[in-house]
Amino acid sequence: MSTIRVAVLVGSLRADSLNRKVAEKLAAEAPEGVTLSIVEGLDQLPFYNEELDAGDAPAAAVAVRQAVADADRVLVVTPEYNGTMPAVLNNAIDWLSRPYGAGALSAKPFAVIGTTPTPYGGKWAHNDTARSANIAGAVVLEDVTVSQSALEVDVLNDAEVFGKLQAAVQALVDYSETAAA
Ligand code: FNR
């Protein structure tokens, strides 16, 4: 069986980000036959501007697009900022949505999870990410979304809580176009 490659977009740039730690632990404990790779360099992307994208795209955009294009699945792990996704993630989705109709997200099975230290766990950010990715052409698995509150919960070390995040990865990996049709 060939390896299923999952490109992971992390919506927080903090070195100490809990969402990055979740992504790293999911990668370290990936199921057999699955690799999760965090797409680095989202902070190097300029704000999307069609003029910058008219000829040769900036090197950072080429690299991020290639990392996603090479993957079989896309997983977002993100917190919420001001009731929506962080700007760095929104900007990455914009770059991945072009060329129109043929962006790197096009037809990619896509899921979004994440955690915030608030009661709703970033639900608005996750809903907005799903809507945006859908418009960008991804096949969004909305049932797979996990918005995990980190209030009074050790997200990384609570087996039940972390298990929900792992189950989301498994559902994304298990997605089959034929079964979904
Ligand atoms: C936040 N935070 C936040 N949390 C939330 O649940 N809803 C929100 O609307 C916001 N808004 C917000 C705005 C800004 C500018 C910041 C910096 C933070 C809190 C946020 O969820 C928290 O900082 C997370 O821990 C960030 O995740 P990482 O960096 O630990 O992955």
Per the CB < 8 A criterion, the answer to whether 1 and 33 are in contact is yes
- Give the model's confidence band at 177: pLDDT under 50 very low, under 70 low, under 90 confident, else very high: confident
- Residue for token pair 């034929």: 178
pTM: 0.97
Residue 168, H or E segment: helix 159-174
Residues forming a β-bridge with 4 = 34
| Residue 57 to residue 52: CA distance in whole angstroms | 6
- Residue for token pair 């070390």: 157
| Residue 72 to residue 172: CA distance in whole angstroms | 10
Atom of ligand 1 nearest to the CA of 18: 30
What pLDDT sits at residue 163? 98
CATH number at residue 23: 3.40.50.360
| Residue 33 to residue 92: CA distance in whole angstroms | 27
| Chain segment 76-95, per-residue pLDDT in tens | 999 999 999 999 999 999 99
Return the structure tokens found at 45.
Answer: 């992307």
What residue numbers bound the domain in which 96 lies? Answer: 4-180
Q: What is the largest CA-CA distance in the chain?
A: 49
Task: Please count the structural domains in the chain.
Answer: 1
- How much distance in Å is there from the Cα of 118 to the middle of ligand 1? 8
- How much distance in Å is there from the Cα of 80 to the middle of ligand 1? 5
- How much distance in Å is there from the Cα of 36 to the middle of ligand 1? 24
| Chain segment 34-80, per-residue pLDDT in tens | 999 999 999 999 999 999 999 999 999 999 999 999 999 999 999 99
DSSP state of 98: -
Contact residues of ligand 1, CB 6 A cut-off = 12, 14, 17-19, 79-83, 116-118, 122
What pLDDT sits at residue 1? 63
Atom of ligand 1 nearest to the CA of 21: 31
DSSP state of 180: H
- How much distance in Å is there from the Cα of 1 to the middle of ligand 1? 39
- Residue for token pair 């040769």: 56
| Residue 10 to residue 8: CA distance in whole angstroms | 6
Query: Ligand 1: which residue has its CA nearest to atom 27?
Result: 79
